[in-house]
């Protein structure tokens, strides 16, 4: 976590005094999810994300989060730093992060984001590793803004590392209940070879989110090896 804090400080320090650093947007979200067939496998957590524009073409995004896995009776922490280039046919990003649950893992990769009138989409591809193992993480998601206050989306994420071979497919929906507040839900399936979740089963997730800044959001979503697991 100290490495990420140092990297973020360096990114801000290199900005010249003449450079106007702008907080473009961010969120603070409280979430809950659980398996449908094994209700004791559940997770609740708090995550905050913020994006800072260092130039018109380049920004940095920071994600910090903590969540509790109920059946494991253990808490995970994660932190991710993104660097995002906006001057192109799509927004191009790279990310590096750390997560801790029993042991500490690093993850890193690249990501792409694109949006148009009434829609947005993003994908990422990366690696997760510690001293004993490494493997791939990947995902793709998109959403359609059906009204100014309501959107629906689809998401697919996969992890294939030692001890975790998992896939998640979800349908998502978000509704703005006030200018700076939204509530969301997701319904999907989670398939893995983990001891706690062996095979495929459904899950449900709920969240409440506070939005701030000019855009009210960040460019990219949360990353990590453990990010796709609805509950343990």
pLDDT tens digit string along 96-138?
999 998 888 899 999 999 998 999 999 999 998 876 678 899 9
The residues pairing with 136 across neighbouring beta strands, listed in sequence order, are 127, 160
Which pLDDT value is given to residue 71? 87
Q: Report how far residue 147's alpha carbon sits from residue 152's, in angstroms, rounded to the nearest whole number.
A: 10
Q: What is the domain partition of the chain in residue ranges? A: 2-228
Q: Report how far residue 106's alpha carbon sits from residue 131's, in angstroms, rounded to the nearest whole number.
A: 10
| CATH no. for 2-228 | 2.40.160.160
Q: For residue 10, with 0-12 CB atoms within 10 Å meaning exposed, 13-18 middle and 19 or more buried, which class applies?
A: exposed
Which pLDDT value is given to residue 19? 59
Q: Using pLDDT thresholds of 50, 70 and 90, give the confidence band for residue 161.
A: confident
pLDDT above 70 (res 213): yes
Q: Where are the beta strands (DSSP E) in the chain?
A: 22-35, 42-53, 58-69, 74-85, 91-101, 103-116, 119-129, 134-147, 150-161, 164-178, 181-193, 198-212
pLDDT tens digit string along 55-102?
999 999 999 999 999 988 899 999 999 999 998 888 999 999 999 988
pTM, two decimals, is 0.86
């Amino acid at each position: 976590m100290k490495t990420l804090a140092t990297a973020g400080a360096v990114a801000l320090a290199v900005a010249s005094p003449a450079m106007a650093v702008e907080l473009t947007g961010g969120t603070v979200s409280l979430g809950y999810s659980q398996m449908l067939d094994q209700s004791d496998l559940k997770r609740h957590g708090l995550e905050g994300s913020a994006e800072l524009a260092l130039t018109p073409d380049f920004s940095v995004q920071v994600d910090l989060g903590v969540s509790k896995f109920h059946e494991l009776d253990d808490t995970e922490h994660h932190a991710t730093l993104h660097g995002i280039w906006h001057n192109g046919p799509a927004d191009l990003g790279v990310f590096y992060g750390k997560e801790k649950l029993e042991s500490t893992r690093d993850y890193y990769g690249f990501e792409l984001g694109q949006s148009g009138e009434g829609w947005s989409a993003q994908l990422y591809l990366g690696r997760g590793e510690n001293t004993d193992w490494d493997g791939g993480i990947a995902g793709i998601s998109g959403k359609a803004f059906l009204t100014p206050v309501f959107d629906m989306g689809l998401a697919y994420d996969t992890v294939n590392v030692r001890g975790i071979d998992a896939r998640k497919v979800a349908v998502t929906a978000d509704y703005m209940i006030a200018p700076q507040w939204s509530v969301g839900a997701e319904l999907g399936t989670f398939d893995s070879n983990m001891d706690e979740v062996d095979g495929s089963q459904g899950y449900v997730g709920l969240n409440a989110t506070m939005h701030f800044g000019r855009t009210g959001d960040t460019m990219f979503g949360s990353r990590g090896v453990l990010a796709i697991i609805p509950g343990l």
